[in-house]
Structure 1
Amino acid sequence: MARQALTPREDRQVFTLPLTIRDEHIDENGHVNNVVYVGWLQEAGTAHWNSRFSAEDRARWSWVALRHEVDYFRPLPPGATVVARTWVGDPQGPRFARYVLIEDGEGRLCAQGLSEWCLVDAETLRPHRIPPEMVRPFEA
């Protein structure tokens, strides 16, 4: 049984990213393949991060995925309009949960995801506690 639909937090800014369904995304069942959704979780999170932080910050820090979880509600056929809406949770040391809703052009929920990311120093790749100033750009 699918989980209940995620609801964006009121204290978090929700970032919206249009997505494109490409021919290679369509599987033998005639809809977007499940694996594509994991890529979209990463694409939405990366775009959100890039939109809030300078090139200097992005060069200093990197993110490593620890896990992805996806719930599927409605198939996306070829040519559908798709958007991702994403926001972050509360930091837990070096970990940050990111939530993503994948919706069609009519605003219907097609899938949702939860990704857990670990902040690392880009040079050493060692985990680093998420500083409070890194959370502020994601607040509503």
Structure 2
Amino acid sequence: MPQAPNWDRPAPFTMDFSVNSSHIDGIGHVNNAVYVDWCQQAGWSHSLALDLNLEDYRRLDAAMVIRRADYDYILSAYVGQECVMGTWLTASDGKLIMERQFQLQRKIDGKTLLRATWQLVSVRMSNGKPRRMPPEFIHRYGQAVVSTPQQF
């Protein structure tokens, strides 16, 4: 019977993933790059849930891009297993930088398989240079931050 998730932080945005044979590497477990892709999918889905999509990014000539990413691969997942990814926005300076954290759990036993942290920076899409977050980013992303702001 599946275990209830034991999240590191309250009220994550969650996304379910099913392990299939295309996720498996030569060692027989989910390839690390798949976990990275799942983080990308969950992070973008969270943005969409906050009502910020690619068209908004284009209209505002602004995007949040990964400046730094840290992944802690804890345990493996295997074909047929069900997983759930939780993600939170955990910090924002309200100007240029935000932090997003992830936690991936195996549903059957509630074990954490991965923890990850991204540092994101606001850039101008037209030239890739840093720019202040537009008010829409500050409002929509800011309302989702679950921790007190920190210094970057």
Give the TM-score category using the shorter length: 0.7 to 0.9
Identity among equivalent pairs (%): 26
Residues in 2 aligned to 1:54 and 1:45: alpha-carbon distance in whole angstroms:
11
Cα deviations across residues 7-41 of structure 1 (Å, max 9, x unaligned)? Answer: 22x5xx52001123232210111110112111111
Cα deviations across residues 79-108 of structure 1 (Å, max 9, x unaligned)? Answer: 110110000122133121110000111322
**Pairwise mapping of residues 1-140 of structure 1 onto structure 2 (< 5 A)?**
7-8=8-9, 13-55=11-53, 56-59=55-58, 60=60, 61-92=62-93, 93-106=95-108, 107-130=110-133, 131=135, 132-139=138-145
Name the count of aligned residue pairs.
133
Matched letter for residue 74 of structure 1: L
Gaps of 5+ in 2: 1-5, 147-152
Q: Which structure is larger by alpha-carbon Rg, 1 or 2? A: 2
Give me the TM-score of the superposition, normalised by structure 1: 0.80
Gaps of 5+ in 1: none
Give me the TM-score of the superposition, normalised by structure 2: 0.75
